[in-house]
Chain A
Amino acid sequence: MSRLVSRRSLLRAGSAAAGTLLLAGCDGVFESPAMRGALDFGQFVSLRVQHLLLSGQPLAREFAVADISPEFPLNGTSMPGGFGYFQMMVSQFARWRLTVDGLVRRPLSLSLDEIKALPARTQITLHCCDEGWSAIGQWTGVQLSHLLQACELMPNVRYIVFHCLDELERTPDRSGLYYESLDLFDAFHPQTILAYGMNGQPLPVAHGAPLRLRVERQIGYKNAKYVTRIEAVATLDHIGRGKGGFWEDRGYQWYAGL
């Protein structure tokens, strides 16, 4: 994928472009830690201002069935590799289980049927990709807050991590497995659901079967597909490369509300 570019090369490219701008002579500026610090400060401001704006936890707009877009583009993995996933898919995920663990008092292990038996929420929402396109889909699933209450989070939990079955970047150390994370602000939002249904049908494999995350107030890549394990953690440091997600580890913003 064209997006698989290291942060270093991104920064180098940025400084090259800056050189062509009026800022020739400031070559080192765009690569400097100070500049990275400024960009990180921008991310911090965006997060704080948007959390303030969302302090009443409003719902993202929900649309009518007639508004659903005729298609829903695919990004990331559309068919996870590996025999394990193939076997699960053929058996219609009968032996698949969702694990909820980490800093919890009651770890959970749920089958797809058990998840479907929980109270369901259906929402028709706009999915916004950071590349610019957007599509409208209907999602049915269980509210994440329901599972988080059932597993009894410990008081030091700050993030919820979503481990996925798909390997978006093939590496020997398996560091290319997709994962994502949310803070509790978004994890407990009523529209943050684990969806097993899309547009009135079982969630298709291309869209993350059997279970995917929907986090409606953030950009596309936060909506992890093929979720298999939910881990409650106090810090993101020990997971992946420590930035809180597959794309985040590759330079993308952890908070993607914009």
Chain B
Amino acid sequence: MAVSEPSPTAGTQDAAPKREVIYRHALVVRATHWINVLCLALLLMSGLRIFNYHPALYWGNYGYRGVPAVVSIDAAVDPDSGAPVGVTRIAGLSFVTTGVLGVSRDSERGMVARAFPAWLTLPGEPGLALARDWHFLMAWLFVVNGAVYLLFGAFSGHFRRDLAPAADQLRARHILADLWDHVRLRAPRGEAARRYNVLQKLAYLTVVFLLLPVMVLSGLTMSPAVTAALPGLFDLFGGRQSARTIHFLVANLLVLFVLVHVIELLLAGVVNGMRSMITGRYVIRPQAGP
């Protein structure tokens, strides 16, 4: 068990703890992981560029300037100084976000009114057609890549063996202990590092089976051709603008996931983690003594 720490008398007596190399990630998992990194990065950047053309989100089927927005990122003018001010509104609350959202600096033009700054978007300058081209090309790659991953995961035993929490991991005590390890930013060592920890498994399962499918379906709901064939998508999301809002919010959740994912990588060891996702080989470090 991950929570039980070895006593000084047991386990370490026979020999000095050894460094062991295991084969952690199958080739398909590694390849689809990195293709996914490329897809999600370009989907996010092109998606933000598209968003910049109408930086407001609504609920229902219709939504345009004048309809109450759930979220909006606008530029206003400071009445005193006359300077542009970035204003982000979320569910009725207003935040001044000058410099990042609404208004951001441009090396050539100074402060520019735009929802997301150019460095976050693809293309950086106005270019709706190109952003849509990139978004849809990457969406196709993402879907094909995801299908390969799902088929592999289902038939190779990857989901059952690596992602499904083991019975012992689902006990409340274990989950709480794992949570406490995360709070203390303590990465698993030794035997516990042979498998994903339970919060890690739940996070991956949520992303693979909930967030990413919702991204695909909510994206498809914005396509008038797709909804002609599958009008039930309107009902699933509560309308085209609702789907657009959900698409944006879930994209934010995915960014949050990636941030935590990268932080965990840094905590658990960036060299070991990167090597395992590139070559498949992962080093199990000996468990630290008490």
Contact = CB atoms under 8 A, between A and B. Distances in A.
Interface in B106-146: 118-119, 121-130, 132-134, 136-137, 140
Interface stretch (B88-96, B186-194, B218-226): B218-226
B124 A16 contact: yes
A60 B228 contact: yes
A155 B129 CA distance: 33
Contacts of A10: 123, 125, 127, 129-130
Interface stretch (A35-43, A108-116, A156-164): A35-43
A201 B51 CA distance: 33
Interface in B197-248: 222-231, 234, 240-241, 244
A73 interface: yes
Residue among B121, B130, B240 with most chain A CB within 10 A: B130
A7 B63 CA distance: 29
B137 A128 contact: no
Given A17-B118, A126-B61, A217-B225, A132 B54 contact: yes
B155 interface: no
Interface stretch (A81-89, A99-107, A231-239, A247-255): A247-255
B228 A54 contact: yes
Residue among A134, A135, A252 with most chain B CB within 10 A: A134
Interface string B40-62: 01100100001101100000011
Contacts of B123: 10, 13-17
Contacts of A14: 122-124, 127, 130, 134
Nearest to A17: B124
Nearest to A133: B64
B66 interface: yes
B184 interface: no
Nearest to B125: A13
B62 A16 contact: no
A171 to B, nearest CB: 19
Contacts of A120: none
Interface string A1-36: 011010101110111111011100000000000000
A251 to B, nearest CB: 4
A50 B126 CA distance: 27
Interface residues of B, number: 46
A5 B126 contact: yes
A193 B89 CA distance: 39
A216 B128 CA distance: 21
B226 A258 contact: yes
Given A16-B124, A131-B53, A134-B61, A60 B130 contact: no
Interface stretch (A61-69, A90-98, A138-146): A61-69
B155 to A, nearest CB: 25
Nearest to A14: B123
Contacts of A41: 137
Contacts of B61: 63, 67, 126, 134, 136
Given A14-B123, A131-B128, A136-B62, A253 B133 contact: yes
Contacts of A5: 125-127
Contact of A17 (B45, B136, B230): B45
B74 to A, nearest CB: 14
B129 A132 contact: no
Nearest to A36: B133
B137 A38 contact: yes
Interface string A215-248: 0111100000000000000000000000000010
B228 A58 contact: yes
A59 interface: yes
A46 interface: yes
Contacts of B224: 60, 126, 128, 216-219, 257-258
Contact of B240 (A3, A21, A134, A217): A134
Contacts of B140: 42, 45-46
A130 interface: yes
A71 interface: yes
B130 A16 contact: no
8 contacts: A7-B129, A13-B126, A20-B124, A54-B228, A69-B62, A126-B224, A131-B50, A133-B64
Interface of A: 2-3, 5, 7, 9-11, 13-18, 20-22, 38-39, 41-43, 45-46, 50, 53-54, 56, 58-61, 63, 67, 69, 71, 73, 126, 128-136, 216-219, 247, 250-253, 257-258
Given A10-B123, A133-B65, 13 more contacts: A2-B126, A7-B129, A11-B130, A13-B127, A14-B127, A21-B42, A21-B122, A39-B133, A129-B54, A134-B64, A135-B62, A219-B224, A257-B224
